Amino acid sequence: SVTWIGQAGGRVLPILLDQPKAYYEEIFAQTNGILFPGGNQGIDPDDIYTEVGEILWNLAKQANDQGDYYPIWGTCLGFEELAVLETGNGDVISLDVMATNLALPLRYTPGARKSRLFRSFSSSLLRSLRTQPITFNSHEHGLLVKEYKSNPALHTFFDMLSYNETPDGQFFVSTMEARNYPFYGTQWHPEKNNFEWSQNADYSNIPHTPNAIEASQATASFFLSEARKSGHVFPEAQRDKLIYSAKIIYTGKGDWIYEQVYVFSPKVGLDLHIDTYR
């Protein structure tokens, strides 16, 4: 996720859990957007990840309501987190949506190509996303299409832009964007196409074709174009808090699922806030 943001011209600030509310308010004021990345963190409303996520979610909604543009992106677990944050209910996420090590073409919903996200893509990329398996899925949970359609809190807040089907026949939402806020989510992993080459058996089908690379670049470019609309300014005197000051460990050899990891605190990181170069 760090390199995904970096390829579009952004910088990354890791956010820690279990901090005073003033900490999150300060971080919010200094950054241009937030990314909830994929992972394996609990996202029920009483989990610390969601408790802190709710603070940031509410800050972003309030800011946008007041004309202070501030985007959010959620990937995989982060995508699911968006649904939980808006509904306040962890049960909206099904625990039986098995799509692991699976690259899929998107199934667009009617009108999806007119969405803010997809209308920023070239017609050739939109065609590739529809016809080629270039979106990588690595999840056992997800937002079922039937849950989205039957839940007013979801279908009145988010537009479903695409859906997919698991090997055992479960239809799940794969791309969505908020109707009235610059909030976006993909159940699939756009960041892995360009930067992950894991030898782990569960990650062996990450697509690296030219069109898959373009999909990664286009999603990152779109999100950073949204972040550039934010007027927040990061204080350069605090550059040592950016993730680039952290120790990087190469983990690509053997059975690890990532090429490298950042070690920036003994505490668990929550998410990635985005700062755009100006």
Exactly one of 76, 139, 232, 273 is catalytic; name it.
76
d(CA 110, CA 25): 38
| 171-196: burial string, b at 16+ Cβ within 10 Å, e else | bbbbbbbbeebbbbbbbbbbbbbbbb
Tokens 């979106």 belong to residue: 135
For residue 102, the tally of other CB atoms under 10 A from its CB is 17
List C-alpha distances in Å: 253 to 49, 136, 199, 256, 260.
30, 21, 8, 7, 10
Tokens 């699922």 belong to residue: 257
Active site residue 189: yes
**Which helix H or strand E contains 159, and what residues bound it?**
strand 158-165
Exactly one of 139, 141, 155, 189 is catalytic; name it.
189
φ and ψ of 168, to 5 deg: -100, 15
| Residue positions annotated with a catalytic role | 76, 189
